[in-house]
Structure 1
Amino acid sequence: MDGSNLVAVGRVAKAHGIRGELAVDVRTDSPERRFALDARLTARLRDGSHRELTVSAARHHAGRLLVVFAEVPDRDTAEAMRGALLLADPADLPPIDDPDEFYDHELAGLAAELVDGTRVGTVRDITHGPGPDLLVIDRADGAELLVPFVREIVPEVDVRGGRVVLDPPEGLIE
């Protein structure tokens, strides 16, 4: 599988211990489903190659998920996985009932427009951190714009229409 239709559910931060366990930064709202016993994921390695993986065990530790994959039997193999993006099929995601909640892959690629219809750029990614989530927008001039993904600044998300509407405070997008 080439991974082109898959969504990121985690990134391997580092090897943990000597038995092939991996510390994973989770990028999904349903880690209990994505990293369940026998779940299948695709790893996109730093060199661009892909590798199929099967979850053997997962547990929480120090803000990360420690995951054991059947195909990663030892520390050396785990070290080679450092930085790998863990991907899953979006068709396996449960539906979201809340109209104000979205999966990251649903937002990526949407046009970012001001309330008056002026195009600002294209949503490339969503950054999750200790504060509010941020929309990462690629502007037409090549600059990157980070916009807090809060209702006051992003009053409308129209996934079917292919756009997000921005109502930024003065100075945010200049």
Structure 2
Amino acid sequence: MTSGTAGDPPGGELVAVGRIGKAHGIRGDAFVEPWTDTPEERFTPGARLVTDPADRGPLTVEAAREHSGKLVVHFAGRDDRNAVEALRGTLLLMPAAERPPIEDPDEFYDTDLIGLAVRTVTGRELGPVTDVLHSPAGSLLAVALTAEAGREVLVPFRLEFVPTVDLAAGLVEIDPPDGLLEL
């Protein structure tokens, strides 16, 4: 989750939707690693993206296409290899409020989970969600244990272990497998 900086939408929380990679060709195109399920919507011509670091943008998408399975983007005013190479590593951000709503009540944006308080089904307060990790075996919630400074546990983000996610209340309730909190 990224908080706003000067020049961002008023009161607007920003979320990363991609990162600029190496230049492609000599005319100012760059590979972009999309961090969104809908890159075709986020990187349409005319889309304006805030950047981190802020002094590298904002950037406006002039054109986007796929090349060998990768996203290639041309940003307005960045018309040569050197100009786009200077953007390498830049995060591309958009206001969180512009994300499409999720229809499935059991699906969440990672950024909406980070910071939520975690407690067990028996009422034991654990600490906040600090990250959501994705692996081939499934997603995991990283939870910082407030009572044990510097200690973190990874909780499988599956219904049997995470029966309740209440965004409005800012709460995640877990039913950890035996021994998870003692590791």
Structure 1 residue identity aligned to 2:143: I
Give me the whole-angstrom Cα distance separating, in 2, the residues matched to 1:153 and 1:159: 17
Provide closer, same or farther for how the CA distance between residues 14 and 125 of structure 1 changes in structure 2, counting only shifts above 3 A: farther
Question: Corresponding residue for 1:107?
Answer: 113
Residue 169 of structure 2 corresponds to which residue in structure 1? 161
Match of 2:66 among 50, 60, 63: 60
Residue type of the alignment partner of 2:60: T
Mapped pair 1:43 → 2:51: yes
Amino acid of the residue matched to residue 39 of structure 1?
A: A
Q: Does 1:28 align with 2:27?
A: no
Distance 1:167 1:20, change over 3 A: farther
Tell me which moved more, 80-89 or 56-65: 56-65
Deviating 4+ runs (over 6 angstroms): none
In structure 2, C-alpha distance between the alignment counterparts of 1:96 and 1:72, rounded to whole Å = 34
- Distance, in Å, in 1 between the alignment partners of 2:77 and 2:134 is 29
- The one-letter code sitting in structure 2 at the alignment partner of 1:54 is T
Does residue 83 of structure 2 align to residue 77 of structure 1? yes
Larger deviation: 22-31 or 151-160? 22-31
Give the Cα separation in 1 of the matches to 2:62 and 2:97. Answer: 22
CA distance in 2, matches of 1:128, 1:63: 21
Equivalent residue letter for 2:38: S
**Normalising by structure 1, what TM-score?**
0.83
Quick check: 1:11–1:24 contact (8 Å CA) kept in 2?
A: yes
CA separation of 1:108 and 1:68: change in aligned 2, threshold 3 A? same
Q: Which consecutive residues of structure 2, in runs of 5 or more, have no partner in the other structure?
A: none
Query: How far apart are residue 52 of structure 1 and its match?
Result: 0.3
Structure 1 residue 38 displacement after superposition:
0.9
Determine whether 1:118 maps to 2:124.
yes
Aligned to 1:92: 98
Give me the CA root mean square deviation. 2.4
Secondary structure, aligned partner of 1:153: coil
Counterpart position of 1:138: 144
Q: Offset of 1:77 from its aligned partner?
A: 2.3
**Higher deviation after alignment, 72-81 or 61-70:** 61-70
Aligned to 1:5: 13
Q: How many residues get paired?
A: 172
Q: Are 1:147 and 2:155 matched, yes or no?
A: yes
- 2:160 & 2:135 partners in 1: Cα distance? 19
1:73 aligned counterpart, secondary structure: coil
* Larger-gyration structure (1/2): 2
